Structure 1
């Protein structure tokens, strides 16, 4: 499998085809805030990043929502982000995430997204959260909102530390590749599947299914959605899931080693884009 796919439910794999899945992007689609910025404070407190990196991630959140990148730019962004996480201790990151995940993410989940996930599950659909964040951060969030699977970026770990390498970057066309492989494994009929995203960067994901929907779309995606007659939804009400959805066990969260890595990786990608724009304005 190309992507970092995690099964966050106990549902058995289907033996036949024709099943339906709903694929959800994460930032600004399921949660109301960039996961990049959300984990800045605990990472700063633990000394994994400095204040300069926090400021970068804040600016990066804005840029990441507005600007796409071609293949060459994406490769350069990915190379840049490796310097942010190379050498991090997995156990330290695991501890940070275990202590802060629910306090940080729980209040950010859109009520509308949680309801839509529940509706798909009631119809017997699998629900898959697909994100460019690290597979470790995507899995526990997917479990929180009631999804069955998650797909995220897969980082390289050696001797308990991040090497700075990326096995699979779940971004752009990579998302579409990952869900096609997952569809082959799980027997999904993509023509009958649904996908939700806020960004034009995810057009390959949206175009891979029969029922694409734009959620809080950026300018580029809104234009495409209107041209093609795709539904456009506005999610605007974050709601705490703590009282409604059981908190994952310590073991489940521990399995998500280095959860914040994907968030910081995304910060690197976005900050590189900001630098690129500034240079272009000079």
Structure 2
């Protein structure tokens, strides 16, 4: 006779398999969109490459926050839209894990604010938002690390949960090889508001890198990866040269235990402020914060 514990174990296993399936799908979809910048002359015969997370690794703060704020200012969505998406994310975080409908709602709300807009629109606006809000937030130290890899003839890829279109803009602006990010489904160039697989987060990043490595003939044991978050341990453990950059507490502890190099470009209050913001900003909640921030500015 099946016990409650047995039923819970089966549910947990089904969720684990569903997460794995979505992570693989998201990773493969992101790797398939990764185009090499044609202007670069990095030799393709190199079997080593470097992979960089974006938020708080390459850029101060969360790129999705800057994107959502810029889109809100351009009337892409209303405060009611983003509040609804933020509620779904919060509800999922606290009680939705037991309910498949809440899990799906949280996923689909993550990039729902671009539904009905075109790929061309997001790319054009993304260029403007990078210049307005992201360019001066690049960590010089991390940028130097990326350039060092390029100078050594290695390719450099961004791997981020941000929309792949924004990731590609950041990579191009920084002169990197390319980027992988969350892939939003679009039909005839118009976004449906659905994701392909899942957010490119955690295990999905590792799947994306594995798919890209297979396509590009990379030897992951000779590759490097950089991140600030313990959520990216699947990616960091995949390569032969992991490095913690501006690490959170868990990643710093793990890096010290395993003898990984640590690079911290934050100082004093800035480190505390950036760490606090990273904990608050994520997915649709980033848009809610962006909207609130913009409203406060208008009231001043």
TM-score (norm 2): 0.68
Number of the residue aligned with 2:169:
140
Number of the residue aligned with 1:268:
284
Number of the residue aligned with 1:248:
none
Following superposition, the deviation at residue 91 of structure 1 comes to 4.2
Q: Is 1:88 aligned to residue 114 of structure 2?
A: no
Number of the residue aligned with 2:71:
43
Which sections of structure 1, spanning at least 5 residues, go unmatched?
A: 238-264, 273-282
Query: 2:69, 2:287 within 8 Å by CA — same for their partners in 1?
Result: no
SS in 1 for 2:110: helix
Query: 1:8, 1:139 within 8 Å by CA — same for their partners in 2?
Result: no
Number of the residue aligned with 2:57:
29
Q: Is 1:174 aligned to residue 204 of structure 2?
A: yes
Query: What CA distance in whole angstroms lies between the structure 1 residues aligned with 2:161 and 2:139?
Result: 19
Distance 1:162-1:15 versus aligned 2 partners, 3 A rule: closer
Number of the residue aligned with 1:2:
29
Following superposition, the deviation at residue 81 of structure 1 comes to 2.1
SS in 2 for 1:208: coil
SS in 1 for 2:283: helix
Query: What CA distance in whole angstroms lies between the structure 1 residues aligned with 2:103 and 2:260?
Result: 27
| Higher radius of gyration, 1 or 2 | 2
Following superposition, the deviation at residue 177 of structure 1 comes to 1.0
Following superposition, the deviation at residue 54 of structure 1 comes to 7.2
Structure that is richer in helix per residue:
2
TM-score (norm 1): 0.72
Following superposition, the deviation at residue 153 of structure 1 comes to 1.2
Number of the residue aligned with 1:151:
180
Distance 1:150-1:33 versus aligned 2 partners, 3 A rule: same
Number of the residue aligned with 1:200:
230
Query: What CA distance in whole angstroms lies between the structure 1 residues aligned with 2:147 and 2:123?
Result: 29
Following superposition, the deviation at residue 236 of structure 1 comes to 3.4
SS in 2 for 1:152: strand
Distance 1:51-1:232 versus aligned 2 partners, 3 A rule: same
CA RMSD of aligned residues (A): 3.4
